[in-house]
Amino acid sequence: MSTLTLRAKRRKQALRTAAFMSPWLIGFSVFFAYPLISTVYFSFMKYDGFGVPEFRGLENWNYVFNDYPMFWPALRNTLWLVLVMVTLRVAFGLGIGLLITKIKTGTGVFRTLFYLPYLAPPVAATLAFVFLLNPGTGPVNSVLGDLGLPTPGWFTDAAWSKPALTMLALWGVGDLMVIFMAALLDVPKEQYEAAELDGASAWHRFRFVTLPNISPIVMFAVVTGVIQTMQYYTQPLVAGKVASGIIGGSGQQFEPGYPDKSTLTLPQLVYNLGFQRFDYGSACVVALVLFALSMVFTAFLMRRRGGLIQAGD
Amino acid sequence: MPKMPRKAVLAAASIALLTTACTGQSDTGATDDPNASTTITFWHGWSAPAEVKAIQANIDRFEKAHPNIKVKVVGNINDDKLNQALRAGGSSGPDVVSSFTTSNVGKFCSSGAFADLKPFIEKSKLDLDKIIPKPMLEYTQFEGKRCAMPLLGDAYGLYYNKDAFKKAGIKAPPKTWSEFAEVAKKLTKSKGDSYEQLGFMPNYHGYETVVDHYMSQWNHTYFDKDGKSSIAEDPAFAEMFTYQKKLVDSLGGFQKLEKYRNTFGDEWGAKHPFQTGQVAMQLDGEWRLGMARDAGVKFDIGTAPMPVADDEADEYGKGFLSGTVMGIAPQSKKQNAAWELVKYMTTDTDAVVAFANAIHNVPSTFDALKSPGLKVDAGFKTFVDIALNPKSNTPPASINGSTYQTTLQDFGYQYESGKAKDLKAGLKKTADQIDRDIEQAK
């Protein structure tokens, strides 16, 4: 009898726990587990949105890795952007944050000036950059030409398109600047005073006081930056489309990546395969590659984070 | 019989749910009464105010002729939106659909995104061969399955600046590609490392100067009888790529031309390079006439068919054709009423003529092309003639839509820029890629 009561109590307890957890469980199942399981499932299927999915084995995987000509360029571009763009954005955001926290007057004005570009809609910002960097009519190349400097092709030159996208990303660095400013203002003043008394130079104060204190924020900026860059879609697509001159008029087809596949990113492939070619299976393969890459990068960075925190502590 | 564990049952149920959750509905039985009062939804891609007004006027005429059918019109729908909506299904989806992309018809027909129109055509006793020109009939079906009807057409030809021709002492538009190269060079005036006037922008990014538009002026076959890409075997492709590359080089080279191209205005705006006088000749569709006039162009505009290969001079007069296609959504529960609208807009002579006059497109029926009501001036007549020319053509429909064209176009970019040097090997590699992509889509 007492065993039964205990069991009933445990069941009741379990139900109560489940009831409390249910909002999270539902959210997790609907927005994470279900999409992830179905992505894995569809990566082995032929499915175009109509009819019944057909099992295809590893054909979609083989197609993406060996026969889809856009996959490797897109992967290389994505890795380039992760390494270069994220690094520069974090460094630039931190640099601007440091500068603004140091200046005595006009802090509000500069903070607003540097933050405002972040609020510009990505499409409008990209269009403006394509216009400014137009090699034929853009003011940037006019100035460079007048100064006798080389005039790059920017978004029309495969060697310059990713640097141009990086410039666009640096222009909109206001989000990181604000986060870094908050972190920098949080560093205890006494630590700087103690370091100064010990004769530490500005570099040493930054290296041994500032950086350890803000390392969790740096890590946050890097991890979110990597994930955002893995999802980088709008800016390269718009830049490629507008710079190519083919904006999709009377039924024109546009293959992303202009010029010469240099602005292709993995999310563009997911859209191209999934929602233009309706090859859901191959699109799922690319999505899983993205997922795996994000996991690897995040796991690697989180491991490194332990070291940084220790240094800070 | 062994009992299935609960976890396995749940897993099986989940998989069943996954497999069925996104499978679109395909209702092919049309049971609605076309004489009953009903409202159907029509999705189209036009967005310019004048075009939207023109299509509404056409719908108004239809509603007058069919007082029991009301049409809810939704504009600015491109192929991506259309395809996604048709797959999502749902009761608020369209009944009648349209697309500007003829090269996607293969995908529409093979996937079942557009309903099969054969039963409707047979029921209405329409003999399409007697109503619609052959190229337009071709680009609205795939492997014998007719899932679309042509709703006006686009014919591509040559626009030329008559004043510039006169200044350069050129008497008539070129008829062969050799003549064309000479004329383009004659019309080109360099200015430093740029141009005062360019005879013709040959680059594949030069708006309409894409690979398949060039190819229409050579006798060519994209696929062999087994459905394999024949671009590496058919000499026409190598001839076209060689010709275009020579033209690029003779007009200043790829880099110089690309730099100049970057000074061009938008293709659909008033600053189009032909309209501003930056280029003296342009390959374009019939719509350019109206656009140029609207932009207040100061010079006289001449129109002619695009040149043809030197050894195919007898085929001068042909051109590239495409157009809007119209079909019925397979999920529609009002397919008979939907067919009434499709039939009216694509085969009723008055409707086709009025719509063609309003948006300056080429009519898509024989009767409309010959109708006295069609507003045809000398410039526009060129395009009507191209549409009627039996040698006019368009790339064949494919199961993966225009993917094979973009793959070929991609090789074109490589070749014109000099990154790809071995034409034969490049075409072979491109053909293999096309075959592999098609295999993947099957």
Burial of residue B395 (CB within 10 Å: 0-12, 13-18, 19+) is: buried
pLDDT at B26 over 70: no
Compute the average pLDDT of residues B404-418: 92
| Facing residue for A245 by CB, picked from B14, B261, B440 | B261
Examine the pLDDT at B72 and tell me if it is beyond 80.
Answer: yes
CA triplet A136, A142, A148: central angle to 5 degrees?
120
pLDDT of residue A252: 53
Q: How does residue A7 score in pLDDT terms, banded at 50, 70 and 90? A: confident
- The confidence score (pLDDT) of residue B77 equals 86
In whole angstroms, what is the distance from residue A134 CA to residue A149 CA?
A: 16
How deeply is A14 buried, as exposed, middle or buried, from its count of CB atoms within 10 A (0-12, 13-18, 19+)?
exposed
ipTM confidence score: 0.77
* Distance between B282 CA and the closest CA of chain A, angstroms: 15
According to DSSP, the residues that pair with B176 across neighbouring strands are B308
- Residue numbers in B near A41 (CB within 8 A): 15, 18-19
- Across A153-157, B48-52, B83-87, B345-349, the highest mean pLDDT is recorded for B345-349
Instruction: Say how many C-beta atoms besides its own lie within 10 A of residue B238's C-beta.
Output: 16
Q: What is the pLDDT of residues A280-306, one digit of tens each?
A: 999 999 999 999 999 998 888 887 765
Side chain identity at residue B101, one-letter code: T
**B223 secondary structure, DSSP code:** B
Q: Which residue in B has a C-alpha nearest to residue A54's C-alpha?
A: B19
Q: Which residue, chain included where needed, has tokens 């596949």?
A: A261
**Inter-chain CB proximity A245 and B267 less than 8 Å:** yes
pLDDT for A254: 64
CA distances from B266 to A245, A247, A249 (A): 7, 9, 11
Predicted confidence at residue B272, as pLDDT, reads 92
CATH of B27-154+321-388, picked from 3.40.50.300, 2.90.10.10, 3.30.470.10, 3.40.190.10, is 3.40.190.10
State yes or no: pLDDT of A1 exceeds 70: no
What's the rounded Cα separation, in Å, for the pair B358 and A84? 52
- Which parts of B75-200 are beta strand (E)? 96-99, 141-142, 145-146, 149-161, 189-191, 194-200
List the single residue in B78, B111, B407 with the smallest CB-CB distance to A50: B111
Tell me, rounded to whole angstroms, the distance of Cα B337 from its chain centroid: 27
Residues β-bridged to residue B191: B194
| pLDDT tens by residue, B89-103 | 777 789 999 998 888
Which chain B positions have a beta carbon within 8 Å of A48's beta carbon? 111
pLDDT tens per residue, range B231-262: 999 999 999 999 999 999 999 999 899 989 98
Chain B residues with beta carbon closer than 8 angstroms to that of A270: none
> Can you tell me the distance from the alpha carbon of B158 to that of A139, in angstroms, rounded to the nearest whole number?
34
**CB-nearest partner of B413 from A59, A153, A260:** A260
Contact yes or no for B228/B234 (Cβ under 8 A): no
Closest CB to B80: pick one of A134, A249, A275: A275
Residue B218's CB is within 10 A of a number of other CB atoms, namely 19
Nearest beta carbon to residue A135 from set B262, B414, B437: B262
Residue A280: closest C-alpha in chain B: B441
Does the N-terminal peptide bond of residue A69 adopt cis geometry, omega within 30 degrees of 0? no
* pLDDT score for B28: 44
Contact B116, B105 (CB under 8 A): no
Helix (H) or strand (E) holding B439: helix B423-441
Q: Which residues of A touch B (CB under 8 A)?
A: 34, 37-38, 41, 47-53, 59, 63, 67, 69, 134-137, 153, 156, 244-253, 255, 258, 260, 275-279, 282
> What's the farthest any 2 CA atoms get from each other in chain A?
95
Work out how many CB contacts closer than 8 A connect A with B: 115
How far does the CA of residue B73 sit from the closest CA of chain A (Å)? 19
Q: Which residues of B touch A34 (CB under 8 A)?
A: 18
Please, are residues B43 and B338 in contact by the beta-carbon 8 Å criterion? no
Statement: residue A12 has pLDDT above 80: yes
Rounded to the nearest integer, the mean pLDDT of chain B is: 88
Predicted local distance difference test score (pLDDT) of residue B353: 94
Q: Which of B154, B260, B433 sits opposite A136 (nearest CB)?
A: B260
In this prediction, residue A307 carries a pLDDT of 47
Residue B323 CA to residue B132 CA, distance in Å, equals 13
CB atoms within 10 A of CB B169: 7
* Cβ–Cβ < 8 Å for B100, B324: yes
Alpha-carbon gap, residue B366 to B132, rounded angstroms? 6
**Strands B149-161 and B321-328, bridge-based pairing:** antiparallel
Chain centroid to CA B134: how far? 15
Nearest to B411 by CA among B426, B432, B428, B433: B426
Contact in structure between B220 and B234 (CB atoms under 8 Å)? yes
Asked if A278 and B83 come within 8 Å (Cβ–Cβ), the reply is yes
Q: How far apart are CA B79 and CA A64, in angstroms?
A: 24
Nearest of B306, B200, B191, B189 to residue B261 by alpha carbon: B200
Query: Which of A37, A52, A253 is closest, CB to CB, to B402?
Result: A253
Does residue B17 carry a pLDDT above 90?
no
- Classify residue B390 by burial, with Cβ atoms within 10 Å: 0-12, 13-18, 19+: exposed
Specify the 3-state DSSP secondary structure of B373: coil
Q: Which domains does chain A have, with CATH numbers?
A: 2-59 (no CATH), 69-312 (1.10.3720.10)
Please indicate whether, in this complex, the C-beta atoms of A51 and B26 are within 8 angstroms of each other: yes
Dist. CA B171–CA A148, nearest whole Å: 44
Out of A41, A49, A277, closest to residue B400 by CB: A277
Distance CA A165, CA A154 (A): 9
Q: How long is chain B?
A: 442
Which residues, 6+ apart, have CB-to-CB distance to A231 below 8 Å?
Answer: A267, A290
Residue of B87, B193, B262, B394 to mutate for A, most A C-beta atoms under 10 A: B262
B293-331 confidence digits (pLDDT tens): 888 999 999 999 999 999 999 999 999 998 899 999 988
Best A72, A276, A279 residue to mutate vs chain B (most B CBs within 10 Å): A276
For A99, counting Cβ atoms within 10 Å of its Cβ (0-12 exposed, 13-18 middle, 19+ buried), the class is middle
Q: Residues near A160 by Cβ (< 8 Å), separated by ≥ 6?
A: A152, A153, A154
> What pLDDT sits at residue B199?
96
Tell me how far apart the alpha carbons of residues A277 and A274 are, in angstroms, rounded to a whole number.
6
Interval A234-279: pLDDT, tens: 999 999 988 887 755 444 556 678 888 999 999 999 998 998 888 9
The SS3 of residue B161 is strand
The pLDDT value recorded for residue B14 is: 42
Q: How far is A50 from chain B (nearest CA, A)?
A: 5
> What are the structure tokens assigned to A51, written together?
């009819």
* CATH code linked to domain B156-320+397-441: 3.40.190.10
Single-letter amino acid, residue B7: K
Report whether B338 contacts B328 (CB < 8 A). yes
B5: pLDDT strictly greater than 70: no
CA of residue B199 relative to chain centroid, distance: 26
Mind listing the pLDDT tens digit for each residue in B193-233?
A: 889 999 999 999 888 999 999 999 999 999 998 899 999 99
Of all residues in chain A, the one with the smallest CA distance to B24 is A50
What pLDDT, on the 0 to 100 scale, is given for residue A65? Answer: 96
Mean pLDDT of A11-22: 92
Summarised one tens digit per residue, pLDDT across range A190-247 is 999 999 999 989 999 999 999 999 999 999 999 999 999 999 999 999 999 888 877 5
Res. B111: pLDDT tops 70: yes
Say whether B440 and A248 touch across the interface (CB within 8 A).
Answer: no
Q: Tell me if B440 and A63 make a contact (CB, 8 A cut-off).
A: yes
* B19 — pLDDT class (breaks 50, 70, 90): very low
In terms of CA atoms, which chain B residue is nearest residue A68? Answer: B437
Band the pLDDT of A6: cuts 50, 70, 90: confident
pLDDT at A3: 65
Instruction: Give me the sign of the Cα torsion angle B29, B34, B36, B39.
Output: positive
Q: B400 and A51 in contact by Cβ < 8 A?
A: no
Q: Any chain A CB within 8 A of the CB of B140?
A: no
Query: Which residues in A lie closer than 8 A to residue B152 (C-beta atoms)?
Result: none
**Chain B residue closest to A49 (CA)?**
B87
Collapsing DSSP to helix, strand or coil, A250 comes out as coil
- Name the pLDDT band for B46 (thresholds 50, 70, 90): confident
What are the boundaries of each domain within chain B?
A: 27-154+321-388, 156-320+397-441
CB neighbours of A300 closer than 8 A, spacing ≥ 6? none
CA-angle at B84, arms to B329 and B55, nearest 5°: 55
Q: Specify the pLDDT at position A305.
A: 61
Nearest CB to A244: which of B78, B205, B403?
B205
pLDDT reported for residue B252: 93
Residues of chain B in contact with residue A134, where contact means CB-CB under 8 angstroms, are 262
Residue of A nearest to B257 (CA): A136
Q: Which DSSP helix (H) or strand (E) runs through A54?
A: strand A54-55
Residue range A39-86, pLDDT digits in tens: 999 999 998 888 789 999 999 999 999 999 999 999 999 999 999 999
Q: Minimal CA–CA distance to A260: which of B315, B275, B258, B5?
A: B258
- Looking at beta carbons, which residues of chain B come within 8 Å of A248? 78
Q: Which is nearest to B393 in space by CA: B233, B150, B215, B176?
A: B215
Q: Do A135 and B100 touch (CB under 8 A)?
A: no
